Structure 1
Amino acid sequence: MTLVEIAGSGLAELTCARLLADRGHRVRLAPPRPASHPAGAAGAGAGARPLLLTGPTLELVGRLWGDGLLEGGWPLTHRHARWGSGPSPARFPQPGRAVDGAVLAARMRERLGAGDLSGEPPAWTVTATPGERAAHERTGRRRLLAGTAPVRSPRDQDTARLDCTGLGWVHLTPLGGDTCLVQAMVPGPAGDPAGLLARLLAESALGPRLRRPPRSAVALAAAPRVHLAPAAAPVAGRGGLLVVGAGALRQDPISGTGTAQALRTGILAAAVIDAAAAGTSARALCAHYANRLRTAFHDHLRTCLRLYPAAFGSGAWQDEIDAMRRALRGGAAGTLPGRSDRAVPSPHRSHHPDDLPPRRTRQ
């Protein structure tokens, strides 16, 4: 069967490897890379990657990987949200689990085993890190601020909380014990992430829930983006390439389904490779892959354009809103009809029973 190089240890890459191995393909795993500092890592321990997985994502992980992968995570039962200037926040059931993404990836690798150890060239490479020079379409300059802080009271640690200020939104995710992940979205670069996060907390209703703001924080590029060439078919003397995860498609973390969307890019990449091995045109499959990512990107922008204008009226946020509108106008000719935040589907569902149907998310 096909030999595939998995050139990283991200959740999307490892999920793609799992599906390919289950279908009889040979998978070669790259050595684990040193942990970086993605969203939420500051103050959470070296290499930690706090993630909030909500109901649909939990179901998807269970379908793909079975039981036990999320052991040790902190369970959540509800979400409490106030969007925009509305005076009445809403609390509603939203099952979830706060987990360490680094631990999750390590457990996935362990289940995959050693993989293929041959030295022959792969027919395909799957990666979530196509390089800094990769061509993406970006829609804005906003940043996600993230750090951890101690909660004032260990009670009520089953609820994730969202609030808005004039500058951006703020989100608290309990991590268990007396620790909370603090995240905020602002409309541009932040020279002092911890100071700006403290300001947002002071202006929101969430600040009093913490004993203090995070002492350190990171500011990460967070505007939606899509890779302009996420798939290349194999040609003579060169294997094919599929970009997955955030390297292929990055969305605002406003709906709690970012991890699920990343996993679905891995599902779709496995579907492309499997269908190509069965005789379908690799070039046509790669074109379909790129089209599905762009469709999901445009659907997500429409969701953002329903939410952000209703919450933020500053000039900086208007620039972000205008950037998303320009992206939709520029890509309208190639956009397929669909609903907001639609999951990236498999090109041939009959070959891939693990692919889940898309689910509507709730803010």
Structure 2
Amino acid sequence: MSRADVEIAGSGLAEVTCAWLLAARGHRVRIRPRPDAGRRPLLLGRSTLALLHSLWGIGEPAELGLATHRLTHRRAHWGADPAAPPLGAPAVVVDGARLAARLLDRLAAHHPEAVGEAPGGGGAPRWTVTAASHPEDRWTAGRRRMLAGETSLAPGQDDRIARLACTELAWLHLTPLGRGNALLQAMVPGPAAHPEKLLGRLLAGSALAPRLLGAPAAAVSLPAAPRLHRTPATAPSTDAPGRLLVGAGAIRYDPLSGTGTAQALRTAVLATAVVHAAATGTSPEALCTHYARRLRTAFRAHLDTCARLYPQAFPSPAWQYEIDACR
């Protein structure tokens, strides 16, 4: 097998994981970390933690010296259905940016040659792996936004239970962060000019209001509709390296699924397989076609789930565009 020279442009979970897997297979890797994007709480469920363990050999993020908060249950009140009893759903809350940084440290400790000026000190890269993509090259299923801000739990609240609730306009998710703090998120069907004000109104009309001391004083509005890149893989040519998009640059799930982090890690696994198979003589063009097909299949299945779930909770016209976009 010949070794491939690979440039990893970025240092999110997907990029760092791809670099780790490629280096472990003997490929020459250079990773160019990007600036820290700031704190980003992640809720990692059992399946995502199992995937991290299989890829990185860590049982839990706490093994990397990270502050974490453990959840034991999830309670959902979706649409007009009665609130379900708490469901056992072990999970860990961790800062995603810090997790990626610690994994990058782990990569540098085991494969110091991967963090340098050039792939293995050698030639031009055969492949570039990145999560960065141009907005005009993406297909997005809707316009919905995620409003998010941090606040404090009311006294006496169980900080081991994550909660999902609905209003006529939005679904809201409360994630305890530990030490009396909580992340409040709300999915709305379109842009929000004043996210903190809208988040406060949504909270006031929901069953979650008594569980918090108040609405977040500050909030952000982030695009959150499912998204797929039209060309997530390009084979190498005589003039340019091949390009493989991973993570949210390749495919993004609706946050309602709770599987976005796991899917980002799976793109890293699949991209690693493409590079490795190409180095053993398999057609890069065929591999890139397979990569794109796998992502399209996963995206279609995810949209089918969204198209089934959202009408159950939001019969109002405000959500009709989002539901149609998933169909």
Which TM-score applies when normalising by structure 1? 0.84
CA distance in 1, matches of 2:105, 2:60: 11
Shift of 1:121: 1.3
- Asked if structure 1 preserves the Cα contact closer than 8 Å seen for 2:49 and 2:59, the reply is no
CA distance in 1, matches of 2:210, 2:216: 13
Give the match's secondary structure for 2:256. coil
Shift of 1:237: 2.6
Report what 1:90 is aligned to. Answer: 85
Please tell me whether residue 295 in structure 1 is matched to residue 297 in structure 2: yes
Residues 261-285 of structure 1: per-residue CA shift (max 9 Å, x gap)? 1110111000110111111110000
Task: Note the 1:140-159 alignment, pairs <5 A.
Answer: 140-153=142-155, 155-159=157-161
CA distance in 2, matches of 1:224, 1:90: 29
Please tell me whether residue 121 in structure 1 is matched to residue 112 in structure 2: no
- Asked if structure 2 preserves the Cα contact closer than 8 Å seen for 1:69 and 1:107, the reply is no
Report what 2:239 is aligned to. Answer: 237
Shift of 1:154: 5.5
Report what 2:40 is aligned to. Answer: 49
Report what 1:316 is aligned to. Answer: 318
Please tell me whether residue 64 in structure 1 is matched to residue 55 in structure 2: yes
CA distance in 2, matches of 1:305, 1:243: 26
Please tell me whether residue 33 in structure 1 is matched to residue 34 in structure 2: yes
Report what 1:130 is aligned to. Answer: 133
Residues 168-226 of structure 1: per-residue CA shift (max 9 Å, x gap)? 10001111111101111000000011111111111110011110111111111111110
Report what 2:190 is aligned to. Answer: 188
CA distance in 1, matches of 2:14, 2:312: 33
- Asked if structure 2 preserves the Cα contact closer than 8 Å seen for 1:145 and 1:183, the reply is yes
Report what 2:177 is aligned to. Answer: 175
CA distance in 2, matches of 1:27, 1:279: 19
Report what 1:39 is aligned to. Answer: none
Report what 1:218 is aligned to. Answer: 220
How many residue pairs end up in the alignment? Answer: 313
- Asked if structure 2 preserves the Cα contact closer than 8 Å seen for 1:139 and 1:324, the reply is yes
User: Could you tell me which amino acid in structure 2 is paired with residue 216 of structure 1?
Assistant: A
Shift of 1:324: 1.4
CA distance in 1, matches of 2:141, 2:255: 15
Shift of 1:120: 2.6
Q: Mark the runs of 5 or more structure 1 residues left unpaired by the alignment.
A: 37-46, 326-363
Q: CA RMSD in A?
A: 1.3
Taking a change above 3 Å as real, the CA distance of residues 316 and 119 of structure 1, as seen in their structure-2 partners, is farther
- Asked if structure 1 preserves the Cα contact closer than 8 Å seen for 2:75 and 2:163, the reply is yes
CA distance in 2, matches of 1:217, 1:266: 31
Give the match's secondary structure for 1:254. helix
Shift of 1:315: 1.2
Report what 1:43 is aligned to. Answer: none
User: Could you tell me which amino acid in structure 2 is paired with residue 33 of structure 1?
Assistant: R
In percent, how many aligned pairs have the same letter? 58
Report what 1:357 is aligned to. Answer: none
CA distance in 2, matches of 1:288, 1:278: 16
Match of 1:228 among 223, 227, 230: 230
Shift of 1:74: 0.6
Report what 1:110 is aligned to. Answer: 105
Give the match's secondary structure for 2:73. strand
User: Could you tell me which amino acid in structure 2 is paired with residue 107 of structure 1?
Assistant: R
User: Could you tell me which amino acid in structure 1 is paired with residue 102 of structure 2?
Assistant: R
Give the match's secondary structure for 1:90. coil
CA distance in 2, matches of 1:24, 1:11: 20
Shift of 1:68: 6.2
Shift of 1:132: 3.6
Residues 219-267 of structure 1: per-residue CA shift (max 9 Å, x gap)? 1111111000010000113110000101110110112211001110111
Task: Note the 1:334-353 alignment, pairs <5 A.
Answer: none
Shift of 1:69: 5.6
Shift of 1:86: 1.5
Shift of 1:73: 1.1
Taking a change above 3 Å as real, the CA distance of residues 202 and 155 of structure 1, as seen in their structure-2 partners, is closer
CA distance in 2, matches of 1:180, 1:70: 19
Give the match's secondary structure for 1:235. coil
User: Could you tell me which amino acid in structure 1 is paired with residue 48 of structure 2?
Assistant: T
User: Could you tell me which amino acid in structure 1 is paired with residue 46 of structure 2?
Assistant: G
User: Could you tell me which amino acid in structure 1 is paired with residue 314 of structure 2?
Assistant: F
**Structure with more of its chain in helix, by fraction:** 2
Residues 153-175 of structure 1: per-residue CA shift (max 9 Å, x gap)? 26411111000010010001111
